[in-house]
Structures are given as C-alpha cells and as structure tokens.
Amino acid sequence: MIRMAVLGPLLIGAVWVGGALFAGEPSGPLVGFGNERTWSDQSGRFEVPASMIHADRQEVRLRKSDGKVVTVPVDKLSTGDRRFVESFLTAEAALMGAGAAKPDPDNPFAGGAPEPASRPRAGTGRPSPAALRSAGRVPSRAAESPAKIVGRLPVREPVLQGFRPLSVTPDEAFWSAVKPTAVPAVELDDIVIRTELRKPFFASMRVLAASQSGTVLLNSYQQGRGSREDFSNFVIVDAGSGDVSPLFAFDQPWKALAISHDASRVAAVRVEGFDKGNDLAIFHIADMRLTPEFQFKAGGGAWDELHWAAFLPDGKLATISQKHDLTFWDLDAEPGPRALYRGHSGGSLSAEISAAGDLIVLPFGSSIAAIETDSGKLVGCITRDQASTRIAISPSGQRIAAFHPFTVTLHDTADGKETGSIAVAEGNPQATVRWIGDALMVGKVLYDVETGMPLWTYNSQASSQIAVADSLVSAFGGDDESVVVVSRLPHDEPLRRAKEADPSQIYAIVPGDDVTVRYEIDDVPTEVQAAIRAGVEQNLMRVGWNLVAESPNTITIKLERGEQEEVEYFTRRGFGPIFAPPGFRPDGPSEKVQIKAWIHSLRIDSHGGEVFTGKLVRGAPQSLQTREDEKTQAAVDRIVQPNPNYFRDLVIPPRVLKPEFRDGLGKSTIERSGIR
C-alpha cells in the first residue's frame, strides 16, 4: 500500500507492508508511539507510566499500567509530552494522506473498514528485525522500502528579541562549575552492520551517535550543480542489536549536525555552499522512524552560516555561526524557536559538550571557558600557557583534555585544575581528539592517559567516525550500500603488550635533559645568524631543555640555499605578476626569473638516532605585487629571504617520544569488515 500526503508545504510518500492504520491510534507503522513511557503534567508535580492509545489536537487517551484508561487535555501535558503527541500526529498525517483526493463514490471498491482482528495492540507491534534475523528471515540491512520525502519542511520563524547576553571572556581564572552529570555507560560489542544507504562518489557522509544509547544516525548528502542533483539520505542504526531502519530520502541536501543524547531528535543544516548553511531542520526519532518536525533559520545569512550544533537538555539547542555567535535556542517555544542566550564564542567555531548536555567547554585565546547550559552562565575559566586547538570531555564527565601540538593537558571538572599531561606524536593543530572510554585518541593513535603510553594506531579509510562510550563507530560509504563498523577500543592485543612495556622508557628527551646545538648557517648575513641563535635559545627555554657544550642529544640547525630554478611569472593588470602552472596560465605579458629557495631545517638526534625534524622552504611566491618601476626579478629577490623567526616559533615537543613508540605498540586497520 502506497499513500501520498501533503503536509503544509511538505509532500511525503510513505511505504509500508502489512498492518492497518487507524486515525488517532498508534497502530501499524506508528505502533512505536504506543509504547509505555512516563507522562507528566505542566507543573511537573504529577507523572504516570502509561501507553498512548489515542490522540488528537485536543486530548490524549492513556492506558495506565493498572489497565485503567484516562483522558487528558493536550494543553495540560508537559512540553515534552506535547511535542511527542505533535510528532505522532505529524507522522500520522503523512501516512494517512492528509489533503488527498476523496474516493470516487461510483467506485465499488472504495472506502471500507479495516479488519478489527488484524489491528495490532498499541505497545506490542511486530517482532524486531533482530529477532527475525536470528530466525534467518531478515537480511542484515533493512528490508522495508524507503520513505521518500520531497520538498521543504514546515517553516517556523525564530524569535530573536529579548535574549540574554552570553559571555565566554572572563577577566581572570576561576572555577565554580558543578561536575557534569554522569550517564550510564553504553556497552557495545564489535559488530558490522550493512545498510541500504548509498553514498555516491561526490557525496559527503556523516555519522552521529547518541551518548545515552546505542543509536547511530547515518547520513549521506550532496549539493549538486542544480537542485535536481541535490539529495540527502538517512538511516537509523541500533548499534547494540544491529537493527536498521528503512531509508529516509530527501530531495534537499540536509547535513546532520547533532543528535540528542537520548536519541529522540536530530538537527540538520541545509547545505547552501562550502558545506554550510543557514536553515536548520529538526527531526523526531521514535520506533526507528525519522519524522520531520520543522525548519527555521538559525544562521545569520551570507558569510554567517552555521558551523556547529549540539542538543541541550529540555528541548534546547546550542549553535555557533561563522561570525562566532554562540546561541542557545528553546526549540519548543511558541510561535517559533526562541533565542534564549547569545554571545561571542571567543573565536571558536565549535565546542565540546558533556554526555548529559549540562556543560559546554570551548577554547578562546589561551584559555578554556566553561558554560552551564541550564542558566547560560560562565562558570569556569582555565588559563593556559599554550592555546588549545582541540578540547574533549570524557564520557564520565570527570576530565577535560586540552590539545595543542605534541601535548595534551588534563583538567579535573570538579575544580578545573590541571591533573597531568601526556606527550603525543601529533603535530597537526587541527587533529581530531576524542575520548574512547578512559583512553584518549589523538589523530589515529590511542593513548593510556594514566601512564602516557601510546597504545596503538588505528588507521582507517572510513568516510566518517565518531566515539560513543568505549567504542569507535566508523561509517564506510559506497555506491551500493554503506556499512557501520563498531569497534571496542583498545582491543586485546595492545592491552597485552602494554603490560609488558615500561612507560618510563618511551621518551628520548624530557624537560631537564641536556642538549647540544650545532649551527650550519655560515652563508647567511650576520644579523640573520644572531636572530636564529636567539630564537633557538628561546625555544629551548620554553621546552625546559638545558643547553650544554656536549651531550648525547644533538640539535642541528641549518639554513641553506636550494638549487637554482627558473620560474615564469605572468602579469595581470591591477594584481601584479602571478606564477601559474601550465594549463592555467592567464593572458598577458610574462617574465622569467631565477630563484634559489631558502631551506630552513631543525633536526634532533638522541644517542645517534633521529627523533624529531622540522623544515621550512621559502621559494617562489604564488603571486606578488611589484613596487613602482620594479622588475619582477627584483621583487622576487626582495621577497625570497630567510625567516629566522621560524626557529623561534617552531613547536618542539617538550617530551620527545622515541621513534619506536610514536605509533604506539602496534598498528591495525579498521575496514568495512572490522579490525584487521
């Protein structure tokens, strides 16, 4: 049976097999709305476990656990319960064909009533896919047909007046934050789950996971050259049982940004360019079904699109836009989502949120700010010597990990104080940092934060990854299907090897050690040599190494010219000469110039073996602006000069890992079939 429906501006087509649908009753494909849940009134004083057996815009009938049925006006229910009823009515309207043409009165087969005996009782439903699969009757990916959703979602206008100011820029360090609420740990086993979601080559993929459940959302989307090429697809995966929802397909490029901690809601942005957008859609999840609620403009328009979003407790959402506006929204406010708090994020385009959603932390400058999500108050500021480029809150809510190249510092959320630090091999300031249980993954390497031991490297070509509890969820897209791989980390082999390793032997150089510096910079001007020596000494003071005449630890500083090469520059009116590779050359006069690049290098050896290197090449600039009456050759000679500050600004790890420990105690690859 196929029914088409129009809901406001939203056209929905739903497909299902078997079962009957009764107006106002959670039956057939909506049977999950009849599962028993806790209902409460507006005051919050009264609540009752009950299952919904009927609902409309005015009232809802509930069957309590003692079998008695009670009728309650919808306006007496709590905000969350009203939202639940609204989601049911929206989904029912889509399936029942709201606004469809009436049947032909001359058709003898039109109309009719469903067979009462075939009606499933609310709260029971059919067996789960996992149960059927165990009997060999259901394949590993969903057998149901997709729900194709076409057109725009219902639009609600945001309310931006009257929000309270939000600040993340304190004058001094302090900490009054309450330790984040601990949530029950989600235990997942290694599993490989196939889905019917497809990811074409030029499409993008996102995977999100709810912190308080094993629910995983898989999303592929594409903004094509025209609207006909736009699409987005979603599937819901239960990572505990392996159950997979049917495919939910849209004709607009919705990119999933956030899933609520209890897996009841999803926020997705409609991509308008550069993988960002302004329009935010809210979806409801129930019984492995994704139901559109509404969309609203949460971004600030051109050049102020959304970068980040996260769900907060009690129907609220936090967003950060390109102009660094941090906003807390009340999604359930009337007549539309209301901005409760707004302020500057301190320069951050993303933030980290605790597992229960009650605390947000984000870097600003060389400090870390903590914001209580319930009140919007700044409740903590941690000052640091180094600016953090990535932050992560542990699943337990007890620790904050702050990363900058080659180092992670750990802070206790009870008082904000630093409790330790670990040396890491990752020097990319934008590397991914995520907690996996009590271990910390920086880039591809998993670390034991108690001992500082690099445990293992987990390579992967996954389209997207996310951590949930002590597992890493990897999504692999494909033209025919996509696969979700759940890997509990660390696996047995690194744990076994860690017992045999001595954490005190993993470093080549640590603060307090002696080092000797050798300079090979004789062919540069004297003033450049002096600046290089001063910069190196500043860097050694920063990392805490002692400069001595002789030691087994040697730092070699080189500044030399490269081979001479000939480069052709093309002149553009108003822009000056530009270097362009063959095939991309603009029209206009050209001039060939001779260039010798300056090569800066720093190499650290310990006991005869290389342990760290850094290199900078200053060669032909891509484009340049000539001065009045200046030839291109003269401009290039003026610009291509050594940079002595490189040796001062180069980030050197205070604790240098021995080469054999940089990648941990071994390597594995997470593939579509699991860990190999």
pLDDT digits (tens, 9 = 90+) for 343-373: 999 889 999 999 999 999 999 888 999 999 9
Asked if 350 and 307 touch (Cβ cutoff 8 Å), the reply is yes
pLDDT classification of 539: cutoffs 50, 70, 90: very high
**How many domains in the chain?**
3
Helix (H) or strand (E) holding 35: none
pLDDT digits (tens, 9 = 90+) for 8-17: 333 233 333 3
Q: In whole angstroms, give the CA distance from residue 464 to residue 466.
A: 7
The yes-or-no verdict on residue 120 having pLDDT over 70 is no
Q: What pLDDT does 177 receive?
A: 92
Question: What CATH code is carried by the domain that includes residue 47?
Answer: 2.30.30.700
Q: Is 159 inside any structural domain?
A: no
Q: Is 673 inside any structural domain?
A: no
pTM across the whole model? 0.76
The yes-or-no verdict on residue 635 having pLDDT over 80 is yes
Q: What pLDDT does 79 receive?
A: 83
The helices-and-strands tally (H runs, E runs) of the chain is 6, 47
pLDDT classification of 281: cutoffs 50, 70, 90: very high
* Percentage of the chain modeled with pLDDT above 90: 64
Q: Which two tokens stand for residue 104?
A: 């032909």
Q: What pLDDT does 577 receive?
A: 59
Q: What pLDDT does 563 receive?
A: 94
Q: What pLDDT does 621 receive?
A: 84
The residue type at 411:
H
275 and 422 belong to one structural domain? yes
Of 505, 522, 545, the residue at which a domain comes to its end is 505
Average pLDDT, the chain: 85
The yes-or-no verdict on residue 3 having pLDDT over 80 is no
339 and 384 belong to one structural domain? yes
Burial (CB count within 10 angstroms: exposed 0-12, middle 13-18, buried 19+), residue 627: exposed
Q: What pLDDT does 28 receive?
A: 56
Q: Is 296 inside any structural domain?
A: yes
Q: What pLDDT does 375 receive?
A: 93
97 and 69 belong to one structural domain? yes
434 and 528 belong to one structural domain? no
432 and 534 belong to one structural domain? no
83 and 232 belong to one structural domain? no
pLDDT digits (tens, 9 = 90+) for 164-196: 999 887 778 999 999 898 888 788 999 999 999
420 and 480 belong to one structural domain? yes
Q: In whole angstroms, give the CA distance from residue 447 to residue 258.
A: 27
pLDDT digits (tens, 9 = 90+) for 195-227: 999 999 999 999 999 988 889 999 999 998 877
End-to-end CA distance of the chain: 44
More confident residue, 70 or 8: 70
Give the mean model confidence (pLDDT) for residues 257-276.
94
539 and 631 belong to one structural domain? yes
Q: What pLDDT does 364 receive?
A: 85
Q: What pLDDT does 627 receive?
A: 85
Q: What pLDDT does 98 receive?
A: 39
Question: What CATH code is carried by the domain that includes residue 186?
Answer: 2.130.10.10
DSSP class of residue 41 equals B
Q: What pLDDT does 96 receive?
A: 52
What's the domain range around 593?
A: 509-657
Q: Which two tokens stand for residue 574?
A: 């108003």
The yes-or-no verdict on residue 148 having pLDDT over 60 is no
Q: What pLDDT does 586 receive?
A: 57
Q: Is 668 inside any structural domain?
A: no
Q: Is 638 inside any structural domain?
A: yes
Q: Is 151 inside any structural domain?
A: no
Q: What pLDDT does 368 receive?
A: 94
463 and 548 belong to one structural domain? no
552 and 445 belong to one structural domain? no
Q: Is 156 inside any structural domain?
A: no
Range of weakest confidence among 133-142, 356-365, 551-560: 133-142
The residue type at 245:
S
Q: How many CA atoms lie within 13 A of 259 on its CB side?
A: 27
Q: What pLDDT does 29 receive?
A: 56
The yes-or-no verdict on residue 399 having pLDDT over 80 is yes
Contact residues for 510 (Cβ-Cβ < 8 A; gap 6+): 654, 655, 656
Of 505, 540, 559, the residue at which a domain comes to its end is 505
Asked if 308 and 298 touch (Cβ cutoff 8 Å), the reply is no
Of 505, 537, 564, the residue at which a domain comes to its end is 505
Q: What pLDDT does 119 receive?
A: 29
Asked if 330 and 316 touch (Cβ cutoff 8 Å), the reply is yes
The yes-or-no verdict on residue 101 having pLDDT over 80 is no
Q: Is 672 inside any structural domain?
A: no
478 and 542 belong to one structural domain? no
More confident residue, 88 or 463: 463
489 and 536 belong to one structural domain? no
pLDDT digits (tens, 9 = 90+) for 407-450: 999 999 999 999 999 999 999 999 999 999 999 999 999 999 99
DSSP class of residue 29 equals G
